[in-house]
């Protein structure tokens, strides 16, 4: 084995086991999933669809991909007569690109959620004066916003905007929206103006599979999900589409934007789909949400501005402006206390994507370790302790001063007595809940 890399793998394994991994899009795949991803399937080229390949030697791969697809349909209770599924997209962003390219001609209109309100880059993110994503360079993007006071979807406003914009595609879903989306209403808004409705449930996939979040399948034309977040599989994506759209989507994935599918990943996805089709996984999904709600309630009671006042899902978004704390400082202080969250934009953010005003934290990974309500209470207190310790530290506005502050602050945090004490407590808790 390459000693440099095996050393890095051991270091990362140690890091993952000793911290509270609270980034909502992360999870711990099982050892069976990881074994499948590391299997001999990685050696095989398999361009095309099962039984319609461009390379020889694909009889076993065909069986694998067919099984993976049937497990995907079974998990979400879908009939093969109505739905098709593509399991070849390399990840969520290429999956969204493939869907858009299949459904729209270049230049046609998309209505999607504004990124700083909780949307996703791959839904066509652009600035007023700069096209950031390829999607925004090819298609005509308009964003909808959450309501200024509730910070929730305002369906009447989205409907009015859809009537005005007349998009060909309406997209829901995002990275930092803590509440359930009304898929029925979104599909009506789309269909009333002749648009397709794409539900991107990358974050909620495992919660939908586990029956704790509502399914979009009754309403959406296309459902995209990544496989590595709450669904707890390897990094990848699945695109479910109404049968009449499936051939175009398959062709858009390959040869439209990709070459050979990663069959080793498809093997890992198939394992994860079987694991998710169990009572144990339903209990896991329920606990993920319960844990997030315990944390959200605690933060509300501690006086923090929890966006939307709570959560229906696996994630909690906190706007730190109400206590005048810096999200950069808080996120780094938490990291030195062995609690990994990410700084994130919040609705109507006055900061930037690098220095936003909020932190986003989630429970999928720590729930996989077996942590429950009792542990959430401890974690909530530690997070509040860290926030109180650093809340008066602010990033300077001026760039050179800011860089000096960042370097100095990280050094101080590494020596910080109280942060180190919390880090030790976190490590002891983690030791009692080993990784899968
Ligand atoms: C809603 C949503 N869509 C798409 C993606 C993109 O997935 P990937 O990072 O696999 O490209 C993400 C990832 O964070 C996401 O949250």
Q: How far is the CA of 202 from the centre of ligand 1 (A)?
A: 6
Percent of the chain at pLDDT exceeding 70 = 100
Which parts of 76-182 fold into alpha helices (H)? 92-103, 134-138, 155-165
Catalytic annotation, pick one of 26, 45, 418, 420: 45
Among protein residues, the one whose CA lies closest to atom 13 of ligand 1: 92
Give pLDDT, residue 397.
87
Which atom of ligand 1 has the smallest separation from the CA of 236? 10
243: phi then psi, degrees, rounded to nearest 5: -45, -40
151 close to 123: Cβ distance less than 8 angstroms: no
Spatial CA neighbour of 331 closest among 302, 300, 353, 360: 360
Q: Cα angle at 287 between 283 and 293, to 5 degrees?
A: 150
Question: What is 31-111+146-276's CATH topology?
Answer: 3.40.640
When pLDDT is averaged across residues 310-328 and rounded to a whole number, the result is 97
The angle, 0 to 180 degrees and rounded to 10, between the axes of the packed helices 327-336 and 373-390 is 120
Among 118, 120, 181, 229, name the best residue to mutate to test ligand 1's pocket (greatest count of ligand atoms within 8 A of Cβ): 120
Which parts of 38-88 fold into alpha helices (H)? 59-75
Beta bridge partners, 362, equal 315
Instruction: Give the max Cα distance, the chain.
Output: 64
229 classed as catalytic: yes
Say yes or no to pLDDT of 353 above 90.
no
How does strand 358-362 pair with strand 315-319?
antiparallel
Say yes or no to pLDDT of 436 above 90.
no
Q: How far is the CA of 34 from the centre of ligand 1 (A)?
A: 20
Which atom of ligand 1 has the smallest separation from the CA of 173? 1
Task: Report the distance separating Cα 78 and Cα 418, nearest Å.
Answer: 52
Confidence of residue 431 (pLDDT cuts 50, 70, 90): very high
Which parts of 277-416 fold into alpha helices (H)? 279-301, 327-336, 364-368, 373-390, 399-415
Q: How far is the CA of 200 from the centre of ligand 1 (A)?
A: 9
Q: What is the mean pLDDT of the chain?
A: 97
Beta bridge partners, 199, equal 172, 223
Among protein residues, the one whose CA lies closest to atom 9 of ligand 1: 92
Among 29, 87, 93, name the best residue to mutate to test ligand 1's pocket (greatest count of ligand atoms within 8 A of Cβ): 93
State yes or no: cis peptide before 255, omega within 30 of 0: yes
426 close to 386: Cβ distance less than 8 angstroms: no
When pLDDT is averaged across residues 106-124 and rounded to a whole number, the result is 96
Among protein residues, the one whose CA lies closest to atom 16 of ligand 1: 175
Catalytic annotation, pick one of 229, 313, 343, 369: 229
Among 90, 113, 122, 239, name the best residue to mutate to test ligand 1's pocket (greatest count of ligand atoms within 8 A of Cβ): 122
Catalytic annotation, pick one of 18, 32, 47, 412: 47
Structure confidence by residue, pLDDT tens digits, 64-87: 999 999 999 999 999 999 999 999
408: phi then psi, degrees, rounded to nearest 5: -65, -40
Task: Report the distance separating Cα 33 and Cα 68, nearest Å.
Answer: 13
Catalytic annotation, pick one of 226, 227, 311, 368: 226
When pLDDT is averaged across residues 318-338 and rounded to a whole number, the result is 97
Task: Report the distance separating Cα 85 and Cα 152, nearest Å.
Answer: 31
Among protein residues, the one whose CA lies closest to atom 5 of ligand 1: 92
- Counts for the chain of helices (H) and strands (E), in that order: 16, 17
Q: How far is the CA of 330 from the centre of ligand 1 (A)?
A: 24
Q: How far is the CA of 121 from the centre of ligand 1 (A)?
A: 8
14 classed as catalytic: no
Q: How far is the CA of 349 from the centre of ligand 1 (A)?
A: 21
Confidence of residue 200 (pLDDT cuts 50, 70, 90): very high
Beta bridge partners, 20, equal 339
Task: Report the distance separating Cα 82 and Cα 52, nearest Å.
Answer: 21
- What percent of the residues of the chain are helix, what percent strand, and what percent coil, each to the nearest 5? 50, 15, 35
21 close to 368: Cβ distance less than 8 angstroms: no
Say yes or no to pLDDT of 1 above 90.
no
When pLDDT is averaged across residues 182-199 and rounded to a whole number, the result is 98
Give pLDDT, residue 354.
86
| Ligand 1 cavity residues, CB under 6 Å | 25, 91-93, 96, 120, 122, 173-175, 200, 202-203, 226
Q: How far is the CA of 354 from the centre of ligand 1 (A)?
A: 18
How does strand 52-53 pair with strand 140-144?
unpaired
User: Can you give the length of the chain in residues?
Assistant: 436
Q: Thinking of the domain 280-431, which architecture would CATH place it in? A: Alpha-Beta Complex (3.90)
Confidence of residue 352 (pLDDT cuts 50, 70, 90): confident
Spatial CA neighbour of 359 closest among 412, 423, 307: 307
Structure confidence by residue, pLDDT tens digits, 259-285: 999 999 999 999 999 999 999 999 999
Give pLDDT, residue 163.
98
Return the domain boundaries, the chain: 31-111+146-276, 280-431
Catalytic annotation, pick one of 34, 235, 420, 425: 235
Structure confidence by residue, pLDDT tens digits, 372-418: 999 999 999 999 999 999 999 999 989 999 999 999 999 999 999 99
Task: Report the distance separating Cα 415 and Cα 162, nearest Å.
Answer: 53
45 classed as catalytic: yes
Spatial CA neighbour of 199 closest among 221, 178, 214: 221
Residues 6+ apart with CB under 8 A from 214: 180, 183, 208
Give pLDDT, residue 343.
94
Q: How many CB atoms sit inside 10 A of residue 116's CB?
A: 23
Task: Report the distance separating Cα 262 and Cα 120, nearest Å.
Answer: 24
Give pLDDT, residue 220.
98
- Sign for the pseudo-dihedral over CA of 159, 162, 168, 171: negative
395 close to 326: Cβ distance less than 8 angstroms: yes
pTM above 0.95, yes or no: yes
Q: How far is the CA of 122 from the centre of ligand 1 (A)?
A: 7
Which atom of ligand 1 has the smallest separation from the CA of 93? 11
Task: Report the distance separating Cα 52 and Cα 174, nearest Å.
Answer: 34
Half-sphere exposure of 419 (CA within 13 A, CB side): 24
């Amino acid at each position: 084995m390459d000693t440099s890399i095996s050393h890095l793998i051991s270091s990362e394994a140690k890091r993952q086991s000793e911290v509270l991994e609270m980034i909502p899009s992360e999870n711990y795949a099982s050892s069976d999933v990881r074994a499948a991803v590391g299997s001999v399937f990685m050696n095989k080229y398999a361009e095309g669809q099962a039984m319609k390949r461009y390379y020889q030697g694909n009889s076993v791969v065909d069986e694998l991909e067919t099984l993976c697809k049937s497990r995907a349909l079974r998990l979400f209770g879908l009939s093969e007569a109505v739905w098709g599924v593509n399991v070849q997209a390399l990840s969520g962003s290429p999956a969204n690109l493939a869907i858009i390219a299949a459904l729209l001609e270049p230049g046609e209109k998309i209505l999607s959620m504004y990124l700083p309100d909780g949307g996703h880059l791959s839904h066509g993110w652009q600035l007023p004066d700069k096209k950031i994503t390829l999607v925004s360079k090819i298609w005509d993007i308009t964003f909808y916003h959450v309501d200024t006071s509730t910070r929730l979807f305002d369906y009447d406003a989205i409907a009015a905007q859809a009537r005005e914009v007349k998009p060909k595609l309406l997209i829901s879903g995002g990275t930092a929206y803590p509440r359930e989306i009304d898929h029925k209403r979104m599909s009506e808004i789309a269909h009333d103006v002749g648009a397709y409705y794409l539900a991107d449930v990358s974050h909620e996939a495992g919660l939908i599979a586990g029956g704790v979040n509502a399914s979009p399948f009754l309403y959406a034309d296309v459902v995209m999900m990544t496989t590595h977040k709450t669904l707890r599989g390897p990094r990848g994506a699945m695109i479910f589409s109404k049968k009449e759209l499936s051939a175009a989507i398959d062709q858009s994935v390959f040869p439209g934007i990709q070459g050979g599918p990663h069959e080793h990943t498809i093997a890992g996805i198939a394992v994860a789909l079987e694991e998710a089709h169990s009572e144990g996984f339903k209990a896991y999904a329920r606990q993920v949400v319960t844990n997030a709600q315990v944390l959200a309630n605690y933060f509300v009671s501690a006086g923090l501005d929890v966006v939307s006042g709570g959560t229906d899902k696996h994630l909690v978004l906190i706007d730190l402006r109400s206590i005048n704390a810096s999200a950069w400082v808080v996120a780094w202080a938490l990291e030195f206390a062995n609690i990994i969250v990410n700084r994130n934009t919040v609705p109507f953010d006055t900061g930037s994507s690098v220095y936003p005003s909020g932190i986003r934290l989630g429970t999928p990974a720590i729930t996989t370790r077996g942590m429950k309500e009792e542990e959430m209470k401890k974690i909530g207190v530690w997070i509040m302790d860290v926030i109180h310790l650093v809340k008066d530290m602010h990033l300077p506005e001026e760039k050179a001063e800011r860089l000096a502050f960042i370097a100095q602050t990280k050094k101080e945090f590494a020596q910080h007595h109280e942060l180190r004490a919390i880090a030790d407590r976190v490590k002891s808790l983690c030791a009692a809940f080993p990784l899968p």
